């Protein structure tokens, strides 16, 4: 999950983080960090259109707002996605047939086909997700549900059809506005924020919280999972879907299951044959203390947590032989 800086000072784009899903490239994503603490998430084939626009490829980069190095790094990180869009014979994934793409239609632009088909792909994946909920024996009829990272709301729509009262958080306002426009989510129940910034009055009120495509930046994993646990009632459930091997494989350092077990007493894992390789049903949240991540905080909390050095009280350091002496 690399994060690359932009070398064009006058651009409002500061950096781009990439999240590659090699086996299902349509689920790949980028997070664009802009000046003024603004972020934007872009997924699937839309990434290609966005990067080409940022790099102004139509005008040979004359008015580009990302550096050539940043453009190259994003394309290298998401090479499978870009190859799928760029090559006429490429398929989006081995499982998905692209409508309109055939040898008899050499003038078809694959990028256009893929962008148009993103909605259809998401709808099919949403159908898979609902079948997986059945495998977990989860009944959402009459339940208050929070769909985290709803994108354009395909999962939210199907959960509403099953009788759920669905709320949604989605930091990408363009996707969320589309979800509202499509009628997949009600405007008053849609929040254009990160989960961590969910309005306080809604925390602890949900019967079920869902995150059907785990793609969380490493630095935010603990805070995000803690926020999931805080979103539900004490008797509530959290449903997580994961598709990439690095999140599913128990031997991986960043596997999702280990993280979830730190935040929930009960974690049930179900293998699936769909886009999400695994679904996790979590309940009975643990009380997990907020970790001190900054160097200053770790320094202050060393030893007994009193702000003292392990070797004694905190005093001014004393130089010795050109170096530093231990405090005592």
Give the contacts of 95 (CB within 8 A, at least 6 positions apart): none
Of 62 and 116, more confident: 62
Distance CA 246, CA 249 (A): 6
pLDDT mean over 98-124: 45
Handedness of CA 301, 303, 308, 311 (dihedral sign): negative
**Beta carbons of 155 and 147 less than 8 angstroms apart:** yes
pLDDT band (50, 70, 90) for residue 44: confident
CA dihedral 118, 139, 266, 219 (to 10 degrees): 30
Segment 62-87, tens digit of pLDDT = 889 999 989 988 888 887 777 766 54
Radius of gyration of the chain (CA): 23
Q: Where are the domains of the chain?
A: 3-113, 136-285, 294-328
pTM for the model: 0.56
Distance CA 133, CA 130 (A): 5
Q: How far is CA 205 from CA 145, 151, 172, in A?
A: 9, 22, 24
Q: Name, of 111-125, 161-175, 304-318, the range with top average pLDDT.
A: 161-175
pLDDT of residue 260: 92
Tokens representing 41?
A: 């998430």
Distance CA 142, CA 207 (A): 10
Q: How far is CA 24 from CA 45, 80, 92, 113, in A?
A: 12, 9, 8, 17
Segment 163-184, tens digit of pLDDT = 999 999 998 888 899 899 989 9
Segment 206-243, tens digit of pLDDT = 999 998 877 777 778 889 999 999 999 999 999 988 77
Specify whether domain 136-285 bears CATH 3.40.50.150: yes
Distance CA 68, CA 54 (A): 10
> Residue 252 CB: number of other CB atoms within 10 A?
14
* β-pair type (165-169, 190-191): parallel
Q: Please report which helix (H) or strand (E) contains residue 40, including its range.
A: strand 38-43
3-state secondary structure of 195: helix
pLDDT band (50, 70, 90) for residue 275: low
Q: Please report which helix (H) or strand (E) contains residue 221, including its range.
A: helix 221-231
Q: How far is CA 27 from CA 63, 170, 304, in A?
A: 29, 16, 45
pLDDT mean over 260-274: 85
């Amino acid at each position: 999950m690399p994060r690359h800086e932009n070398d064009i000072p006058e651009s409002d784009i500061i950096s781009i983080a990439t999240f590659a899903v090699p086996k299902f490239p349509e689920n790949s994503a980028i997070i664009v960090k802009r000046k003024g603490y603004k972020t934007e998430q872009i997924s699937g084939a839309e990434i290609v259109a966005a990067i080409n626009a940022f790099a102004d490829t139509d005008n040979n980069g004359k008015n580009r707002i990302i550096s050539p190095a940043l453009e190259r790094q994003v394309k290298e990180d998401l090479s499978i996605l870009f190859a799928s869009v760029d090559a006429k014979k490429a398929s989006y994934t081995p499982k998905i047939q692209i409508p309109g793409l055939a040898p008899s239609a050499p003038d078809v632009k694959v990028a256009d086909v893929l962008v148009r088909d993103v909605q259809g792909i998401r709808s099919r994946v949403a159908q898979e997700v609902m079948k997986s909920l059945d495998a977990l024996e989860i009944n959402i009829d009459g339940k208050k549900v929070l769909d985290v990272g709803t994108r354009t709301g395909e999962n939210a729509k199907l959960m509403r059809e099953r009788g759920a009262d669905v709320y949604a958080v989605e930091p990408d306002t363009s996707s969320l506005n589309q979800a509202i426009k499509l009628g997949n989510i009600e405007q008053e129940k849609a929040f254009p924020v990160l989960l961590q910034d969910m309005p306080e009055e809604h925390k602890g009120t949900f019967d079920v919280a869902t995150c059907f495509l785990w793609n969380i930046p490493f630095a935010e994993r603990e805070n995000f999972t803690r926020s999931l646990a805080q979103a539900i009632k004490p008797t509530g459930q959290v449903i997580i879907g994961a598709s990439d091997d690095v999140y599913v494989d128990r031997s991986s350092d960043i596997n999702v299951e280990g993280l979830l077990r730190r935040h929930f007493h009960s974690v049930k894992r179900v293998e699936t044959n769909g886009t999400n390789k695994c679904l996790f049903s979590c309940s009975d949240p643990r009380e997990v203390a907020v970790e001190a991540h900054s160097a200053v905080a770790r320094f202050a909390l060393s030893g007994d947590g009193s702000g003292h050095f392990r070797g004694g009280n905190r005093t001014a350091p004393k130089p010795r032989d050109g170096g530093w002496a231990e405090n005592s």
